[in-house]
Amino acid sequence: MTRDDVRNAVIGILTDIAPDEDFDALKDEEKLRDQFDLDSMDFLDIVMELRKRYNIEVPEADYEQLVTMTSCIDYLQPLLKNQQMAS
Amino acid sequence: MVDQKNPDWRIVITGVGLTSPNGNNLAEYRENLLQGKSGIEKIDIRYMGEVLAGVCNFDEFKYQKKKERRRGTRAGSVGIYCAHEAITDCGIELDSFDKSRIGIYCGVTEHGNVETENEVFNISQYGYDVKYWSHHHNPRTVANNPAGEISLNLKITGPHYSIGAACAAGNLGVIQGCQMLRLKEVDMALAGGISESIHTFGIFASFKSQGALAWHEDPEKASRPFDSSRNGIVCSEGGCLYTLERLSDAQKRGAKIYGEIVGYGVNSDAFDFVLPQPKGQTDCLNMALNNAGLKADDIDIVNTHATSTPQGDIQECIAIRNVFGNSKNTWINNTKSYIGHAMGAAGALELAGNLPAFDDKIVHPTINIDQLDPECALDNLVINQPKPVDQVNYILNNSFGMLGINSALIVKRFEI
């Protein structure tokens, strides 16, 4: 996946778990929680959806990697790339 | 007995919020009861296929955000809808009311089956690997869930909890609210019952295994208490919450008053897991009359619990004959014949269907009787056609449940 692909994948998950939010104006460098009504249960939803949709395990120690969109992409792209290569 | 001279002890109904398979507010619901309109339809559910059920069609997003709904339960959603509707109806501005003095008391027959079945199905799609089990499962399945979702949505900080009392729970929720007001634990109670039970296949499958699940080619004919061809229960979802207040408070703010709760009885058969027993029910009815200081003949309407099972209806008729056999002025009806069995909501919802009779002076009938079962041929059973009467002063609402829990609630037309 390209960085844009990963971004779109994360937006897809966020749209499902926070359907009242408008993610069009999302600022990639700012914390997701500062921009949207997201709490710890929502972040657990992100982790669960990454597991279900992309077979990615995010260990608890790495949850902080999901704080901004940019950090999400930085963290997830290698994992998604590896998954693609593996498949 | 209620001390009628003490306005702090007298509890009145000042608001009604409901969703029923045949109406999403009291006026619509009452109109459909008087028109004989059923709310039963065919639905498909997991593992069972086609079953008959009462389905509510209220707008879930009228009072909830999409995320709130996604995170919560159907029971929570039903409760939030009913709570908002009741509070609007009672005429208070919630933000100017002390929210720490509002108690939320929701009767439920069961809670958590729907969510647990959904999670088991979910992990079945992943080889039963429990790492796919949702972190939302516990907050969705705790017994206080529907009441808690109401608290979260409306920012009500008084006590909230569920009353688990099988199918007597709707009455028990109201009784709990009444008691907490008398104890001055709260200044307003949101009290009644809620059911999401049509979303669990287990309820249907268990009734079917018990030989107690209704079937009829015409869904609207399936719930037919007292008819000779009745063959079981039609499960429904729904909810009904009342705002209850002490009369002194209600009068102070000039509230509209639907009726006064003047008595109740609650007891247990201590007899069987599922079979009802006329003795316990008879005792319960007498207990309610004694509690209200009334004679049987004072009661104008008895809303029966009858669920359309072959045995249960007969047992209740025995109890009613025992108590009301000589009451010439007492009319008997049934509301499940329209809406099915709304489980935890049944008691509260069926009472609501009768409350307008104080004003319109009509007893809605039990419908779907083609051939009356001789064992259910109660004197004054109102059958198929509404019955206009001169006056309705007292309504008694029966609500019984598995494990032998019985309840009867008496509401009086309000007089100053």
Tell me whether A17 touches chain B (CB under 8 Å): yes
DSSP string, B173-187: HHHHHHHHHHTTS-S
Report chain B residues whose CB lies below 8 A from the CB of A17: 67, 70
If you ran DSSP here, which 8-state letter would residue B372 be given? B
The predicted model gives A51-61 an average pLDDT of 96
| Phi, psi values for residue B24, rounded to 5° | -110, 10
* Pairwise CB contact (< 8 Å): A48 & B132: yes
Q: Residue B135 and residue A41: Cβ atoms within 8 Å?
A: yes
ipTM of the complex: 0.93
Q: Domain count of chain A?
A: 1
The number of C-beta contacts closer than 8 angstroms across A and B is: 22
**CA separation for the pair B368, A52 (Å, rounded):** 49
Residue in A closest to B139 by C-alpha: A41
Q: Structure tokens of B27? A: 């006026």
Which residues of A are less than 8 Å from B65 in CB distance? 20
What is the nearest CA distance from B23 to chain A, expressed in angstroms?
A: 28
pLDDT given for residue A85 in this prediction:
45
Query: Which ranges of chain A does DSSP label H, i.e. alpha helix?
Result: 3-17, 32-35, 40-54, 69-86
pLDDT tens digit sequence for B182-214: 999 999 999 999 999 999 999 999 999 999 999
For chain B, the helix, strand and coil percentages under 3-state DSSP, each to the nearest 5:
40, 25, 35
Residues B201, B204, B206, B212, Cα dihedral to 10°? 180
Q: How many angstroms separate the CA of residue A63 from the nearest CA in chain B?
A: 15
Contact by Cβ (8 Å): B232, B326: no
Distance between alpha carbon B284 and the CA centroid of its chain, in Å?
18
The C-alpha atoms of residue B382 and residue B376 are separated, in whole angstroms, by 12
Q: What is the pTM of this model?
A: 0.97
Question: Which residues of B are known to be catalytic?
Answer: 167, 305, 341
The answer to whether position A87 is within a domain reads no
| Closest-CA residue to B267 (of B299, B245, B291) | B291
* Alpha carbons A51 and B156: distance in angstroms, whole number: 36
- Give B91's DSSP letter: T
Q: How far does A19 lie from chain B, in Å, by closest CA?
A: 6
The whole-number pLDDT of residue B2 equals 62
CB interface of A with B, residues 31-50, below 8 Å: 37, 41, 44-45, 48
What is the DSSP annotation of B185-198?
S-SEEEEEEEE-GG
CATH for A39: 1.10.1200.10
Domain that holds residue A23: 3-82
For chain B, which residues make up each domain, given as ranges? 12-252, 262-412
In this complex, the residue of B70, B71, B131 whose CB is nearest that of residue A51 is B131
A18, A44, A48 ranked by CB distance to B67: nearest: A18
**Nearby residues of B204 by Cβ (< 8 Å), 6 or more positions away:** B45, B48, B51, B198, B213, B235
Of B308, B344, B305, B409, nearest to B166 (Cα)? B344
B108 by DSSP, 3-state: which? Answer: strand
What was the pLDDT predicted at B5?
75
Asked if residue A57 belongs to a domain, the reply is yes
- Whether B134 contacts chain A with CB within 8 A: yes
Shortest CA distance from A52: residue in chain B: B132
Shortest CA gap B67–chain A (Å): 6
Do B56 and B75 form a contact (C-beta atoms < 8 A)? Answer: no
CA atoms within 13 A on the CB side of B113: 16
**In this structure, which topology does domain B12-252 adopt according to CATH?**
Peroxisomal Thiolase; Chain A, domain 1 (3.40.47)
B381-396 tens-digit pLDDT:
999 999 999 999 999 9
Q: Does A19 touch chain B (CB under 8 A)?
A: yes
Report pLDDT for A86. 44
Residue B132 neighbours by CB distance under 10 Å: 16
Amino acid making up residue B142: V
* pLDDT tens column, B32-86: 999 999 999 999 999 999 999 999 999 999 999 999 999 999 999 999 999 999 9
Overall size of chain B counted in residues = 416
Query: Tell me, what's the pLDDT at A81?
Result: 82
CATH number for the domain whose boundaries are B262-412: 3.40.47.10
N-to-C CA span, chain A: 13
pLDDT tens readout for residues B212-269: 999 999 999 999 999 999 999 999 999 999 999 999 999 999 999 999 999 999 999 9
Helix, strand, or coil (residue B13): strand
